[in-house]
Amino acid sequence: MPDTPYRAMRRTKIVSTLGPATTDHATIRALAVAGVDVFRLNFSHGTHADHAARHAVIRNVEAELGRPVGILADVQGPKLRVGNFSNGKVQLSAGARFRLDLDPTPGNETRVCLPHPEIIAAAAVGSTLLLDDGRLALRICDRGDDFLVTEVALGGPLSDHKGVNVPDVVLPIPALTDKDRADMAFALDLGIEYVGLSFVQRPEDVREARELAAGRAWIMTKLEKPQAMDNLHEIVALSDAVMVARGDLGVELPPERVPLAQKRIIRVARQLGRPVVVATQMLESMVHAPTPTRAEASDVATAVFDGADAVMLSAETAVGSYPRETVAIMDRIVRRVEEDEVWRRQMETSSPDPQHDVPGAIAAAARQISSTLDAAAVAAFTLSGRTALRIARERPTCTILGLTPTDDIARRLAVAWGVQAVSVGQETPVHNIESVVDQALAVTKGDGYGTAGDAVVIVAGLPFGVAGSTNTLRIATIT
């Protein structure tokens, strides 16, 4: 792997969204070389044929580079929108009354159709509706079985089919629409690693997605609703990974609460050992500019200091004018932070208490021993990926090698902090601890992570081939 030493310098991973600006092989390859670990396919846009074509290109690039690349299929979720207007657009003035109802007749300055009876049924007098990504705010002052009467709290122009957010009401709607189910089935058949689950409100939403995935992909829950924050611990525990989706979260939460929500989500995800991605507007100005603002650079650095497993680019690489440059700059920011001694101390002082079971104790011991011995790597043999995630939770100073028999698990580990995943293949299975040690040393030395005389901490489970049985730690030296 010619790019291994370069990649080993960076623990925090990079997720990049593909779109019209990033479709061809040369561009996607350039993004991967610049530092992308996971590519995101946004099913809110594009056709199945578009996503299948990009999926094929990613797999070709992966084969060329010789390292696992993860793919996230991000499904749209329920989109709540107003109807249309007779003139296409109206101006709402603060203090004016505005009615929302189920009548499909085109609207005007006094009313419009809200084709979502579930909102009307669940909303209460005093609740707030946000329209057009929070640019307008309506406060409900009266309601009936098929209408809401509101007072315009924050006015402005409102046009056809703008989105509606309901920040202070739990809506009785599932996180997966019929479109999402079709998109999810298509993505699973393609062979993606993660399903991005949008607009989760309740733990039941995650359970439903897990049942549909049936183990064929990890569920990455997007935390973008205040209601999800009320059930944060249970939702994260049910998820395989989570995303701090600051776009919609920032619509429904006051701006001053979003940074605190970000830190809380990262803290809970770290405690439970779930990879966490920080997303939305990280280098937003680079959609049109070749360099980021200093505030954006600080935003990326803050996510790294907070201990995020990955940082994500959205419009910057999907439709931006400088996708490769954006990835390269994000990579530079992350690596520079991770060179800082303050960052290292932050990782150590923010370490959660060890999990109170045998695998948790083994993972904590591996971190401590690798630090004491200045080991070249912690090699985690993992059938499901969980052993590598437990090691990543501890944030050791050395490289984490996630050694797994299958390509799909190696790709899933692409999002995990500090993990360099290696598919060791099923054709050379390990049967005893001696063969585990031999394989770990061979990979550590052969891929350039260590040299003769370096210690390697090896974590595995006995009996072999049983997921979740992490119970063995061995120290070996490269010869």
What is the C-alpha to C-alpha distance for residues 222 and 166, in angstroms, rounded to an integer? 17
pLDDT at 5: 39
Given the residues 13, 29, 40, 67, select the one marked as catalytic: 40
The model's confidence at residue 6, banded by pLDDT at 50, 70 and 90, is very low
Strand ranges inside 110-167, DSSP E: 111-113, 128-131, 136-143, 147-154, 156-159, 164-165
Euclidean distance between CA atoms 85 and 160, whole angstroms: 6
Catalytic residue among 128, 150, 280, 317: 280
Rounded distance between C-alpha atoms, residue 223 and residue 201, angstroms: 9
Q: How confident is the model at residue 465 (pLDDT cuts 50, 70, 90)?
A: low
Q: Write b or e for each residue in 179-188: b if 16 or more Cβ atoms lie within 10 A of its Cβ, otherwise e.
A: ebeebbeebb
Cα torsion through 303, 167, 210, 41, rounded to 10: -60
Separation CA 280–CA 427 (nearest Å):
41
pLDDT tens for each residue of 420-456: 999 987 655 666 788 889 999 999 999 899 999 999 9
Number of H helices, E strands in the chain: 18, 21
280 an active-site residue?
Answer: yes
Residue bearing tokens 């980021």:
292
Looking at every residue in the chain, the average pLDDT score rounds to 93
Number of Cβ within 10 Å of residue 420's Cβ equals 25
Locus of tokens 């001694």: 341
Q: What is the pLDDT of residue 428?
A: 57
**Lowest-confidence region among 3-12, 51-60, 244-253, 435-444:** 3-12
How confident is the model over 134-145, as a mean pLDDT? 95
Whole-angstrom distance, CA of residue 338 vs CA of residue 333: 9
The arithmetic mean of pLDDT across residues 203-207, rounded, is 96
CA dihedral 304, 307, 312, 316 (to 10 degrees): -20
pLDDT higher than 50, residue 92: yes
Cα 376 to chain center, whole Å?
Answer: 28
CA distance 15 to 352: 25
Contact at 8 Å (CB) between 232 and 264? yes
* Average pLDDT score over residue span 95-101: 97
Place of tokens 């709540």: 80
Burial of 51 (C-beta count, 10 Å sphere; 0-12/13-18/19+) = buried
Catalytic residue among 222, 225, 324, 411: 222
Annotation marks residue 222 as catalytic: yes
Q: Tell me what pLDDT residue 444 has.
A: 93
Taking Cα atoms as reference points, which of 197, 126, 204 lies closest to residue 168? 126
Crossing angle of helices 386-394 and 358-373, in 10° steps, is 50
DSSP 33-55: HHT-SEEEEETTSS-HHHHHHHH
Name 26's Cβ contacts closer than 8 Å, sequence gap at least 6: none
From 79, 81, 263, 332, the catalytic residue: 81
Q: Are 147 and 115 in contact (CB under 8 A)?
A: no
Q: What is the pLDDT of residues 106-116, one digit of tens each?
A: 999 999 999 99
Confidence grade of residue 351 (pLDDT, cut at 50, 70, 90): confident
Structural domains of the chain in order of their starting residue, each with its CATH number: 4-77+175-340 (3.20.20.60), 89-165 (2.40.33.10), 358-477 (3.40.1380.20)
Query: Catalytic annotation on 246?
Result: no
Under the banding of pLDDT at 50, 70 and 90, the label for residue 471 is: confident
How much is the pLDDT for 7?
44
Residue written as token pair 């619509």: 251
Q: Is residue 2 pLDDT above 60, yes or no?
A: no
Instruction: Name which residue leads in pLDDT, 389 or 174.
Output: 389
